[in-house]
Structure 1
Amino acid sequence: MAVLAILQFTIILDFMVLSPLGAQLIQELSVTPRQFGWVVSAYAFSAGASGLLAAGFADKFDRKKLLLFFYAGFTLGTLFCGLAPDYEYLLIARIVTGLFGGVIGSISFAIITDLFPMHMRGRVMGFVQMAFAVSQVLGIPLSLYLASAWGWHSPFLLIVGISVLVGVAIAVVMKPIKAHLQLQSNRSAFSHLAGVVSTPHYLKGFAAITLLATGGFMLMPFASAFTVYNLGISLDDLPMIYMVTGVCAMVAGPVAGKLSDQFGKYKLFVWGSVLSIVVIAIYCNLGITPLWLVLVINVFMFIGVTSRMVAGSALMTAIPEPADRGAYMSIQSSVQQISGGLASALAGVIVVQTSSGKLEHYDILGYVVVLATVITIGMMYIIDKAVKQKERLATAAAAEADV
């Protein structure tokens, strides 16, 4: 769990660091919001493509070896980002990083599903998802400081250094994970992929994940620019905002995981979604706002988002059968990344930056995210009913076997 949490920290920080660097990158590289949106989307699209390509092979190898291979490629791609001299080079570097980094999350979730029973996965997901909060508390403020002192390349070089250490830890600490190999048939990689994408039960999960991450991909790329130019918060106060909200998210992750195991994953998902809807609707319509109020709103927004992501992720791990977990998680990650890339690109088209730097139409992004969240609540209800039916059938089969 600890190794996976630290690994997730580097992956999430690599993606999230672009958001607080957005204001600086737009200025130093002389790019438009639409071009910056494509920098974010490039990672997502390439990650989606690699997820589909890797899905057929995901269950045919030791998960530890698969994890090390893709993590090495991710580290190399991040190094290219740290050396990028211009917009075009950075765009290509993000594509390379996404080709490898986009598969790592699915491998991690497959490992969690292999090793932990359903009644513990909420707590495990909450612990691993702390990486998101830690990146807020430690990674992003440190990255902003480094970017201010030594330029926007330095945060990526920091991630490379940490990733090298994490890769060594994975190689030394993590044991081989091969139990799923005993369940494999002689099907080709293509047949395995085709079987997974044609299973009606799995399609429900793919449909839900399409909208689940819309909020992050639409709002986060422009969050720093919106905070500075629309809310009137200075660049010097940005690290404080990320740090305070990150500390709250660090607490919210494990608590949300425990509550999801105790009271039900779908129930917590609904409450987290409702909180997110209310706060996002308020946040995206703000004008000049005092720092304390921005902090309060961001804290509640991250509590809502963290709760729904932990509960939703834990619930969807119950969808695939053991022999299909790697393939399912890879395709799910691919669908999530591609839909997120489209969301980022759409956000770049909707948002317009005026000569003063202010972003217009950010409220429209908020309404789109609210609508997607409402639809996702209904889709997750269908998944929850299917998972409970699956558990009842498994319990009945086990009882018959005992008799």
Structure 2
Amino acid sequence: MKERRLSFLFFLVMFVIGTDTFLVSPLLPTLTQYYGISTSLSGFIVSAYAVGYMISALLIGPISDRHDRKRILVIGLVVFTLATAGCGLANTFAMMLVARFVAGVAAATAGPQIWAAIPVLFPKTQVVKVMGYATAGLAVAQIVGVPLGSYLAVWSWRFPFFFVGVIALMLTMLVVRFMPSLNEVTTSRLATGIYRKLFQNKTVLKLLGAYLLFQTANFCGFAFIGTWFAKSFHLSVGAIGSFILLIGVGQFVGSLLGNRLVTWLGQPHAFLLEFLLFIAGYLVLPFTNSPLTATVILAFIYTIGGALLPLFMSTLQEHAGSARSTISALANAVMYLGEAIGGVIGGILIKQFTGFSGIAVFTAIGASLAMLLYAQQGYFKQLQTSR
């Protein structure tokens, strides 16, 4: 019962953090008009959150590894609650940018503590499963974040921020009540010392490199699905949103069911099979001639992607030692870096190649390189189950 309660709590925390990330997207036209700014400037509302997250992730990780992670998580959630509510109170563009930046800082403070806590609080046989629950929280946020912002904004653009802030406050109280102390500190190193030790670990560097390759490829594909559907299939914005919703459901299902595949085949074989299926899906995708077929294939691809993410996080945690929060923060920073790089490359490829062919091939190549790095570390060999 205790493990189930914590699993559900971790799911909810990651869901709220993820929802706040996607919440702003449907509000941008309204905020552009309210603040009297240009459409290009409105993008800084999104960027402020991402920049705050990336900068904070690199600083907070080592701090968390030298203090009680539960306390850091609670502090992060409290600041997240206040910053999100502050977005709803922002009467000027500058105030909104500051509030979104602080919200990103707080999200980067709280999120890595969840990944770091799982290997400490759960037996090794349950780690991938619980990682999947946390990943499912992010997947659900990706599915409902945009429509939730739209529905709640019917009353006022401020209301979505207040709603998420209240939910975050409630979760903070649940964390204080039910989550045990995570004072696993075994080092007094400064941040530079912690990073130096991690960066001297060649396995960690290769795993982070593999994760960067995969996320760059992954976001290159995901970011331009809507553009592809509009250009090649001439779909409306509403229809595109419905299809992407179905794709997001696939990622949610994969997050929950990935552990069953690991249990059935063993982690090495399941890991390899998921990589191969992900790559094969993208190689087939450009040959589709209807949005429905494309959506089915993409839903399958993101089901596999949802199953892969917990394995990425658990393999990184295996090599973290006492620097669990730092490695989680680095993984998150790498994910955002991959999103940024993938967005730039995808913009070029969607313009230069017919349909989705350029992006699909690039994504397949990136995932293949990531797979080769994991193979080099022996993660697809059966004796790695004794790790």
Q: TM-score range by the shorter chain?
A: 0.7 to 0.9
- Say which of 269, 272, 276 aligns to 1:270: 272
C-alpha offsets along residues 7-66 of structure 1, whole Å, 9 cap, x if unaligned? 0101222224456x399589967535xx78766555444322212212322211111111
C-alpha offsets along residues 242-284 of structure 1, whole Å, 9 cap, x if unaligned? 5444444443322211222442334333333333334345556
Shift of 1:361: 7.7
Q: Is the 8 A contact 1:52 1:330 kept in 2?
A: yes
In 2, Cα distance between equivalents of 1:373 and 1:225 = 22
Q: Given the alignment of the two structures, is residue 300 of structure 1 paired with residue 305 of structure 2, yes or no?
A: no
- Say which of 6, 9, 12 aligns to 1:6: 12
Shift of 1:108: 0.7
Q: Is the 8 A contact 1:41 1:345 kept in 2?
A: no
Which residue type is aligned with residue 96 of structure 1? V
Which residue of structure 1 aligns with residue 309 of structure 2? 309
Which residue of structure 1 aligns with residue 3 of structure 2? none
Q: TM-score, normalised by structure 1?
A: 0.77
Which residue of structure 2 aligns with residue 370 of structure 1? 364
C-alpha offsets along residues 111-166 of structure 1, whole Å, 9 cap, x if unaligned? 0011223322221122222213433554443334335x357665444322322221
In 2, Cα distance between equivalents of 1:370 and 1:318 = 27
Q: Is the 8 A contact 1:285 1:362 kept in 2?
A: no
> In the superposition, relative to structure 1, how do residues 49 and 136 fare at CA in structure 2: closer, same or farther (>3 Å)?
closer
- Say which of 108, 115, 127 aligns to 1:109: 115
Shift of 1:378: 0.8
- Say which of 190, 193, 200 aligns to 2:192: 190
Q: Is the 8 A contact 2:230 2:236 kept in 1?
A: yes
> In the superposition, relative to structure 1, how do residues 188 and 141 fare at CA in structure 2: closer, same or farther (>3 Å)?
closer
Which residue type is aligned with residue 68 of structure 1? V
Which residue type is aligned with residue 181 of structure 2? P
In 1, Cα distance between equivalents of 2:286 and 2:93 = 28
- SS of equivalent to 1:159: helix
- Say which of 31, 39, 59 aligns to 2:39: 31
Which residue of structure 1 aligns with residue 342 of structure 2? 343
C-alpha offsets along residues 55-87 of structure 1, whole Å, 9 cap, x if unaligned? 322211111111111222333443454456787
In 2, Cα distance between equivalents of 1:88 and 1:215 = 34
- SS of equivalent to 2:125: helix
C-alpha offsets along residues 171-212 of structure 1, whole Å, 9 cap, x if unaligned? 22212122x12xx24433432332222222322222222223
- SS of equivalent to 2:39: coil
Which residue type is aligned with residue 378 of structure 1? L
Aligned-pair identity in percent equals 21
In 2, Cα distance between equivalents of 1:55 and 1:191 = 12
Q: What is the RMSD computed on CA atoms of the aligned residues? A: 3.8
> In the superposition, relative to structure 1, how do residues 173 and 185 fare at CA in structure 2: closer, same or farther (>3 Å)?
closer
Q: Is the 8 A contact 2:132 2:259 kept in 1?
A: yes
> In the superposition, relative to structure 1, how do residues 114 and 368 fare at CA in structure 2: closer, same or farther (>3 Å)?
same
Q: Is the 8 A contact 1:196 1:202 kept in 2?
A: yes
Q: TM-score, normalised by structure 2?
A: 0.80
Which residue of structure 2 aligns with residue 232 of structure 1? 234
Which residue of structure 2 aligns with residue 142 of structure 1? 148
Which residue of structure 2 aligns with residue 122 of structure 1? 128
- Between 1:224-233 and 1:54-63, the stretch displaced more is 224-233
Q: How many residue pairs get matched?
A: 378
Shift of 1:306: 0.9
Q: Is the 8 A contact 2:52 2:101 kept in 1?
A: yes
Q: Given the alignment of the two structures, is residue 158 of structure 1 paired with residue 157 of structure 2, yes or no?
A: no
Q: Is the 8 A contact 2:128 2:310 kept in 1?
A: yes
Q: Given the alignment of the two structures, is residue 214 of structure 1 paired with residue 220 of structure 2, yes or no?
A: no
In 1, Cα distance between equivalents of 2:286 and 2:58 = 34
> In the superposition, relative to structure 1, how do residues 209 and 114 fare at CA in structure 2: closer, same or farther (>3 Å)?
same
Which residue type is aligned with residue 329 of structure 1? S
- SS of equivalent to 2:300: helix
In 2, Cα distance between equivalents of 1:105 and 1:315 = 18
In 1, Cα distance between equivalents of 2:95 and 2:8 = 34
In 2, Cα distance between equivalents of 1:259 and 1:186 = 39
In 1, Cα distance between equivalents of 2:377 and 2:45 = 33
